Amino acid sequence: MRFLRISLFAVALAAIAACGTTKGTSARSSENNRRQEKAEITSIAYSRIIVDDRYDAYRDSSAEKFLKPYTDSIATLLAEKVGEMERSLDNERPESEMGNLVADIFVWMADDVVGDTVDFAVVNLGGLRTEFERGPVTFGNVLRVAPFENFFVVLTLKGEYVQQLFQQIASRGGEGVSSEVRLVVDSDDSRQLVAATIGSKPVSPERQYRIATIDYLAQGGDDMSAFSHKTDYVEPTSRSLIMREVIASYFRYMSEQGHKVDARREGRISLQK
């Protein structure tokens, strides 16, 4: 009973203290709010803190021991050989070998893996952060090419908006398009779209075209606002549809078939002088 009385007394004291603290906190909060209403920024000063190997001189062995199982696991994942490149590729505009490769991979993914046949594919060259080089390709190489959490998606776009999309691609100086597409762009500063075909046929304004791309572009990223008119949009449902996983899957598939991976310029996007 004595213990119970002491406990109840302690609880009562805590409650009284809490009430006092609440009142005090409320008063201080009101005072802080009044000060903030009067405050204004008069200047901003900053400096860069360079993070480089100078900090490696002070290694924390306990932290390294704790992290080692994770770093070893990641190193094994990145070292996995997924395929091999026939030669090194470039990522230049208006037509990019890297853009050609990845756009064609998207068509392959849609047709052969997802089972949703598409008319063509579009990728943004800015999303490809480096190039594949001749020789073995690891998952780490794929990660460096496609480091963002962009998901492979499929959607439908009416022909009139496909034409707008192609003009937006022309205005950006070119992006990655699959082998079904041919664009001719005026070489002057206007970057006007001169001609566009899909499967050797002019774009039909009333036709519905099925397109493979990434969710970032499907939401209008990189000035591709034509995608805002999309319909029949297939949302990504699995992390296996992250862009880098799609690319890695293609390399593994080609390796299983005994083939190296390659891509070349084919006149998909050309300039008219």
Do 29 and 35 meet the contact criterion of CB atoms below 8 Å apart? Answer: no
Average pLDDT score, the chain = 88
Do 99 and 88 meet the contact criterion of CB atoms below 8 Å apart? Answer: no
| Length of the chain measured in residues | 273
Q: 10-24, 201-215, 225-239: which has the minimum mean pLDDT?
A: 10-24
Task: Provide mean pLDDT across the span 211-219.
Answer: 97
pLDDT (tens digit, 9 = 90+) per residue, 6-46?
343 343 434 434 444 444 455 555 665 665 567 788 889 98
58 or 139, which is more confident: 139
Task: Provide mean pLDDT across the span 140-168.
Answer: 97
pLDDT of 33 reads 60
Q: 47-61, 173-187, 206-220: which has the minimum mean pLDDT?
A: 47-61
User: In this structure, are strands 208-214 and 120-123 parallel, antiparallel, or unpaired?
Assistant: parallel
How many angstroms separate the CA atoms of 21 and 110, rounded?
62
Torsional class of 207: left (φ above 0), alpha (ψ -120 to 50), beta (otherwise): beta
Instruction: Give the percent of the chain with pLDDT over 70.
Output: 86
| Integer CA distances (angstroms), 69 to 55, 61, 64, 73, 76, in order | 22, 14, 9, 6, 11
140 closest CA partner among 130, 152, 154: 130
Q: Which two tokens stand for residue 153?
A: 């998606």
pLDDT of 180 reads 98
Q: 60-64, 212-216, 245-249: which has the minimum mean pLDDT?
A: 60-64
**DSSP track, 12-30:** HHHHHHHHHHHHHHHHHHH
Which phi and psi angles does 181 have, rounded to 5°? -100, 140
How many angstroms separate the CA atoms of 149 and 47, rounded?
31
Task: Provide mean pLDDT across the span 235-258.
Answer: 94
Q: Which two tokens stand for residue 245?
A: 């996983």
pLDDT of 27 reads 53
145 or 57, which is more confident: 145
pTM of the predicted protein model: 0.78
**Residue 62: pLDDT band with limits 50, 70, 90:** very high
Query: Which residues face 198 on adjacent strands?
Result: 181, 201
236 or 2, which is more confident: 236
**DSSP track, 220-273:** TGGG-GGGGG-EEEE---SGGGBHHHHHHHHHHHHHHTT--B-----SSEEEE-
